[in-house]
């Protein structure tokens, strides 16, 4: 009898001939996530990944592994030989532990998956035998519709018994769908956007715009702390910190106040596009949600889209703010996002920004600006911060 952790994979199991590549990616990211904790062995067996480690570290290992994309469930198991007497011993151990913690549980249901078709009993027969054993030895009743306890039994090369399935995030392993540059602000939205694209396999780095000295060091520290939280899901990150203040001053001096927001946004995309070209990013990622602010109207998005031919991912585009806040709480960025430090200067923000900017009008307003010089100067003076994956 041995304690192990089982890891159930999501859609990567549908990848056909490429499946091994995706599974190996996940295993590599599991190894990295728990390297400082230590483990004895990680291996594959009939569609699942298993981790052998010190039982006292199971809780922290499960927490870490739940941040690895491509995984849907994680379970602490007892591994035994495929003999029913051994299966009974494992069930006895796990159910006793469970009832000691939660004595209010009164019902159960057995669920067996028989991957080894040579095992003499079929799944329903195994369920019946498990049910009979539990009814005889514990004060529990069967409830197939709404049980207080599930008893899972996986019949493979060995037999794995478990009672819990900790939900992970699914998705695709990071790094299997290109590289993206996240426009990371200190707000609620952009960290969620970065998380969601990493969940789809994009390797995420970030660019942050500030207006120092009009904005404080605390504001930049806040954004770097958000990047550290995101890194628990994405791995190591690079953050490009760009001072937008010289550009904001030029826009304020030469352009209509109502156009300040949309022209500033265009410059952000231009700078992000230049860095993408320089450092090999396939896409840009923003936290824009349709209609949420002036620059995120259909007209505003159309204006900023004209800046680049590069793909811009907007995973929040159809979400309500309530949905985005729920995601930010779930991934752990919310409390940092609501800290009262602005990342870009509010001095230049117009009281009545243009809600329906037109491409031709904005381009005409920008003719008085030396766009190439301003972009190059911003890139040359930027700061690069390396974020090591938080664990």
- Over residues 227-270, the pLDDT tens digits come to 999 999 999 999 999 999 999 999 999 998 889 999 999 999 99
Q: What residue ranges do the domains of the chain occupy?
A: 2-169, 179-387
CATH class belonging to 179-387: alpha beta
CATH class belonging to 2-169: alpha beta
CB 178 within 8 A of CB 282: yes
Q: What is the pLDDT of residue 346?
A: 64
Q: What is the DSSP letter of 54?
A: -
DSSP one-letter string for 301-340: HHHHHTT-SSEEE-TTTT--HHHHHHHHHHHT-HHHHTSS
Residue ranges for the chain with pLDDT beneath 50 = none
Pairing label, strands 41-45, 107-114: unpaired
- Over residues 27-81, the pLDDT tens digits come to 999 999 999 999 999 999 988 999 999 999 999 999 999 999 999 999 999 999 9
Measured CA to CA, the distance from residue 391 to residue 166 in angstroms comes to 19
State pTM to two decimals: 0.92
Q: What is the pLDDT of residue 340?
A: 84
CA neighbours within 13 Å on the CB side: how many for 328?
24
Q: What is the pLDDT of residue 347?
A: 61
Q: What is the pLDDT of residue 384?
A: 97
Neighbours of 389 (CB within 10 A): 17
Binding residues for ATP are: 183-184, 208-209, 265, 287, 296
Binding residues are: 183-184, 208-209, 265, 287, 296
Q: What is the pLDDT of residue 345?
A: 59
Helix 298-305 with 260-279: angle, nearest 10 deg: 40
């Amino acid at each position: 009898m041995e304690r192990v952790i089982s890891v159930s994979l999501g859609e990567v199991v549908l990848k056909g001939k490429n499946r091994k590549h995706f599974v190996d990616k996940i295993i590599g990211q599991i190894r990295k996530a728990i390297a400082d904790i230590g483990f004895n062995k990680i291996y594959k067996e009939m569609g699942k990944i298993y981790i052998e480690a010190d039982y006292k570290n199971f809780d922290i290992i499960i927490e870490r592994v739940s941040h690895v994309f491509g995984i849907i469930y994680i379970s602490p198991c007892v591994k035994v030989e495929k003999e029913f007497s051994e299966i009974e011993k494992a069930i006895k151990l796990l159910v006793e532990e469970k009832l000691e913690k939660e004595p209010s549980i009164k019902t159960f249901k057995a669920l067996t998956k028989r991957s080894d078709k040579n095992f003499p009993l079929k799944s329903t027969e195994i369920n019946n035998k498990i049910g009979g054993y539990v009814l005889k030895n514990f004060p529990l009743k069967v409830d197939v519709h709404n049980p207080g306890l599930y008893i899972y039994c996986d019949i493979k090369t060995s037999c794995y018994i478990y009672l819990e399935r900790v939900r992970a995030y699914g998705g695709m392993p990071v790094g299997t769908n290109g590289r993206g540059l996240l426009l990371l602000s200190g707000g609620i939205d952009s960290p969620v956007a970065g998380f969601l694209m990493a969940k789809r396999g994009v390797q995420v780095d970030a660019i942050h715009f500030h207006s120092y000295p009009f904005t404080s060091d605390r504001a930049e520290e806040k954004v770097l702390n958000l990047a550290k939280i995101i890194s628990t899901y994405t791995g190591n990150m690079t953050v490009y910190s760009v001072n937008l203040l010289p550009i904001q001053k030029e826009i304020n001096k030469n352009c209509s106040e109502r156009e300040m927001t949309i022209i500033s946004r265009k410059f952000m995309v231009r700078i992000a596009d230049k860095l993408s070209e320089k450092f090999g990013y396939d896409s840009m990622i923003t936290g824009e949600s349709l209609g949420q602010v002036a620059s995120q109207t259909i007209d505003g998005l159309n204006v900023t889209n004209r800046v680049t031919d590069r793909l811009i991912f907007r995973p929040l585009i159809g979400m309500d703010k309530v949905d985005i806040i729920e995601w930010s709480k779930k991934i752990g960025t919310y409390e940092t996002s609501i800290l009262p430090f602005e990342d870009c200067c509010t001095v230049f923000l117009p009281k009545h920004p243009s809600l329906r900017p037109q491409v031709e009008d904005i381009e005409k307003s920008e003719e008085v600006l030396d766009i190439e010089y301003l972009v190059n100067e911003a890139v040359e003076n930027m700061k690069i911060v390396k974020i090591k994956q938080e664990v």
